[in-house]
Each structure stands twice: as C-alpha cells, then as structure tokens.
Structure 1
Amino acid sequence: MTIQFYKYQGTGNDFVMIDDRDNKYTDITEQQVKHLCDRRFGIGADGLIFLRNSDDYDFEMVYYNSDGRTSTMCGNGGRCLLRFASDLGIEGENYSFMAVDGVHFGVVDDEVVSLQMVDLKDIDDLGNDVLFMNTGSPHHVVFTDSLPADDFVAVAKSIRYSDKYAEEGVNVNYVKVTGNNLEMRTYERGVEDETYSCGTGVTAAALGADFLKKTKGDRLKIKTAGGNLELSFKAQREGYTDIWLTGPAEKVFKGKVKL
C-alpha cells in the first residue's frame, strides 16, 4: 500500500497529514502509525492526523500520537490541520471541524492560523504553584522562577509516571512568567519526550497563569522551544470561554510512502 502524505509543523510540533476523505485508511494499525512517525525508519513526526469527511462540519480530525495510539486533542495539530484543509482547497477562511473533544472553529490567513479551544471549567490547584487541568488533553503545570535545564525530561518523566498519573498519563509543563509573557517546556505523553511545542499545553499554561493571578489581561504571549504562540480568552465565573490559540502553521514537504 502506497500512501500520499504531507508533513506540516506548527512552532516545531510536527505532524504527518493524510487526506482520507475517501476512507481508504480506516484500518491502519498501531504499528503502521508508529512506523510512519519514526524519525529514523519512517517520515518522522510527533503525531499523525487524518482529515476525513464530516456530515455536519467541514471535516473531521482523527489524531494519533507517535506511539501509534489514538489520542486526545492536539492544539498545534488542529492548527496544522486547518492549514492543510486550506491547502487542499476546502473552501473558506473560517472552518469548523469535529475532533475527539468536540467541535472546533478555526481561521486561516497568510501568516497565522487561529484555533478555538474547548471551554475550560475546572482547574485543580495542587498547591505550591502547581495546577492540573484538561484543555483537550490532561496537563500538569508547574510555575517556576527558572525552567529546568538538562534534567527537564527526567524530572517531567518522574511526574508523568508517578502513581497519580501513571495509568492514564499526563503532559507535564514547566512555566516561567515574566509580566504578560510566558516561557515554557513541555513533556508529552504518547510521544514520551519533550516536544518543541504543545498547543493544549500552551493553553493550560496561559489559563493557569491567569487563574493564579500571575498575569493581567485576556491575551498572553507564550514562548516555546519551537516558536511563539498567543492565547486569548474570556475569564468567566464558571471558567474560561472563547479560548483562541494563534500562531504559525506551515507545510514542510509532501511525498509517498509504502506501508
């Protein structure tokens, strides 16, 4: 079987994209996904995304982590999928699509792609500037005066595989706040390593900073290892709504691969 694929990246978070509107690849296996995402023997990516038809929306997003398993929402993947849809000629600058965590809306222009994230109602304050929340994916967020250096992956892995999270897994974020600017590092479950950027992690970091009153205003800038993103939101008594993740997303290359 030969597959036409496209490679996209959003602030260094990279994905294999496949146009599957004719449902050719619905029986893809965990091992095949893992192979495609392998950086030495495959194409190389943090995840794989299928764009499929939807009866009620412009398209559907089906996302796999690089470990081959279907996963929860990926914010940068959603932004890259919006760019992919636009490049495929799916009409419109404003899109709606179905993902595992519900309906998302997006806007594509020449420079950036904006994705509306799901509303957030619950944030668990674990004390000592540490929070847990689910922004489409589960995130453990640690606010710190300085980001861990060479030991970041080991520190994050010890949290991800702790008794509290070992069964279902969690993404681990360390965040430094300076004014209304955030700098962060993220370890992602499913990838089981640090990634250059994580859209749901950026969302968790920004909303967490507002929740702890470390920032002011409803628009924050976030620096990741792969580039800069922006998050805007509305703080409500019952949580956060109208959450928009904005930043670059672009095609890297396309090709064909045999499975």
Structure 2
Amino acid sequence: MTLTFYKYQGTGNDFVIIDNRKSILSKNNTKLFARLCDRKFGIGADGLMLLELPQNKEDDFTMVYFNADGNESSMCGNGGRCLVAFAAFLGVIKDQAVFTAIDGKHKAEIKDGLVHLQMQNVSEIEEHDSHLFLDTGSPHHVTLVNELQNYDVVSEGQRIRNGAPYFESGSNVNFVEKKNGKLFSVRTYERGVENETLSCGTGVTAVALSMYQTNQTDSKEIDIETPGGALKVTFQKKEKGYQNIFLIGPAEQVFKGEIEC
C-alpha cells in the first residue's frame, strides 16, 4: 500500500500525521508506526498521529497519538497543536477546534499564526525535596538545575525515568533553569522516544505550573525556551489547582510525502 503522510513540527517536536478518517490504517499496527517514526529506516519523527472522525457531535475530529516506539501514548501537547494546524490545512476546521484525545476533550484556536491549545485542568502537584511531579495529560517529573546548557539530560533523564517510583511505567523528565521572573529554559527527556526531544508541550506546561506552585514566579503567563523554540503557557490558579491552561506556540507543515508500507 502507498501511504500518504504529512510531516509537522512544533518547536522542533516532529510528527508524522496521517488523515485516517477513512480508516485506511488499523490502530493495532504498532510495528508499522514504529517503522514510520524510525529516523534511519522510515520517515523519522518523535511520534505519529492519526486524525480520525469525531466521536460525537460536539467534536471536529479525534486525535490518536503513538510514541516513536509504536505504542499508543498519553497526551502530547505539541502534537495536539500540530494536529489542529493539520485539521485547518485539510479544511476540517477554520480557526477554532474541539477534539477528543486520550486524556479527554480539548479546545483550540489558531490566532496570529500560533496554535492556542487548552490543556486539561491540573488538580494536584506533588512537591518533593528535589523535584515536583504532576500529570498534564502525561506524567512529568520537574527539577531545577544550574547550567542547563551543559547538563547531561539523556543520562540523568534515563536514570530518573526508569527509577523509583516510576519504574516500568516511567515518567517524562524535565530539567529547568530560571532565566528571569517569567522566563524559564527547559530540556526534556521523553519516555517512548527514550531520548531528549527538542521540545515537549505537556512538559513545558508542567514546568510552568510547577514554577508558579513553588513561587519561582508570580506570573500566570510564563515564557518557556526549549532547544526547538519558544512556547508560552497561560493559566488560572484556583482553590483546587489550575484551570483554563493554554499551551501556545507555532505548528508548521514541513512536507508531504508517500511511502510504501
């Protein structure tokens, strides 16, 4: 079969995206998804997404996301933003979207060339001596470090990801350096990719909330520098956690192609 695909990137977090509204691919074909994401033997990507028909009358489409290892994953923030841009490219939406992902319903808007993606509410942030842990659609370990540019993200990220208390299920691991009152630099080791990625949407969301939670900033509009580019996270603090959380940044089509599979 000749498969038509699209390559998208959001601040360097890159994805293979397939229009699967006609169910041309089975969601059980994990070996194929892993091969397509392989940077040596396939297209190459941090993950693969299927845009599928909506599950209800409220939605415009459904998001199905797979890690680079071929396994269906938890929510991907940059992936969600890229899928919204892809839906606009297809004419499925104009500039606003409602869709369902593995963690539930999301709203999004394309404005001034940026995709504003509403993330799930966060009711709990675990504070530990050396780090914080929270779930922003995916699990995230957040820790402050010095000299982030020279930090061994891969070795330390792998150690934390596979260690207690995460073990086999694992956690994404974010290393953060404060730049000023509302600007932070972040590097992320992603489970499923099992490497550092240039950006992680749910990760920078976790970092923004964690920095506010620990009084590293008093701003509810936080700028994040990643190796792949700049993102912004806005939110509202409520009595029982955080609501109205938006991940904001660019999402661009890199190319369209065909591959035999």
What's the TM-score bracket when you normalise by the shorter of the two chains? Answer: over 0.9
Shift, 1:145, TM fit: 3.2
**Aligned match of 1:100 in 78, 99, 102?**
102
**CA–CA distance in 2 between the matches of 1:169 and 1:234?**
28
Aligned counterpart, 2:236:
234
**CA–CA distance in 1 between the matches of 2:208 and 2:111?**
23
Aligned counterpart, 1:80:
82
Gaps of 5+ in 2: none
Aligned counterpart, 1:151:
152
* Letter in structure 1 aligned against 2:8: Y
**CA–CA distance in 2 between the matches of 1:164 and 1:101?**
22
Aligned counterpart, 2:3:
3
Shift, 1:167, TM fit: 1.8
* Cα distance change of structure 1 residues 151 and 221 upon mapping to structure 2, 3 Å threshold: same
Aligned counterpart, 1:38:
38
> TM-score scaled to structure 1, two decimals?
0.97
Shift, 1:109, TM fit: 3.2
**CA–CA distance in 2 between the matches of 1:66 and 1:75?**
15
* Cα distance change of structure 1 residues 206 and 93 upon mapping to structure 2, 3 Å threshold: same
For these two proteins, the number of residue pairs brought into alignment is: 258
Aligned counterpart, 2:199:
197
**CA–CA distance in 1 between the matches of 2:147 and 2:125?**
23
**CA–CA distance in 1 between the matches of 2:76 and 2:93?**
23
Shift, 1:8, TM fit: 0.2
Shift, 1:148, TM fit: 6.0
**CA–CA distance in 2 between the matches of 1:49 and 1:110?**
24
**CA–CA distance in 2 between the matches of 1:65 and 1:138?**
14
Tell me whether 189-198 or 216-225 shows the greater mean CA deviation. 216-225
Aligned counterpart, 2:254:
252
Shift, 1:150, TM fit: 5.3
Aligned counterpart, 1:12:
12
**CA–CA distance in 2 between the matches of 1:199 and 1:150?**
20
Shift, 1:30, TM fit: 1.4
Q: Percent identity, aligned pairs only? A: 48
* Cα distance change of structure 1 residues 14 and 209 upon mapping to structure 2, 3 Å threshold: same
Q: Deviations over 1:153-176 (max 9, x none)?
A: 101110001031112110000011
Q: Deviations over 1:99-154 (max 9, x none)?
A: 000000000135211100000001011113x1000000000000123316252210
Q: Deviations over 1:66-112 (max 9, x none)?
A: 00000000000000000000000113211000000000000013521
Aligned counterpart, 2:52:
52
SS at match of 1:127: coil
SS at match of 2:78: helix
Superposition RMSD in Å: 1.1
Tell me whether 192-201 or 210-219 shows the greater mean CA deviation. 210-219
Aligned counterpart, 1:122:
124
* Letter in structure 2 aligned against 1:157: Q
**CA–CA distance in 2 between the matches of 1:73 and 1:141?**
17
Q: Is 2:54 the counterpart of 1:24?
A: no
Aligned counterpart, 1:109:
111
> TM-score scaled to structure 2, two decimals?
0.96
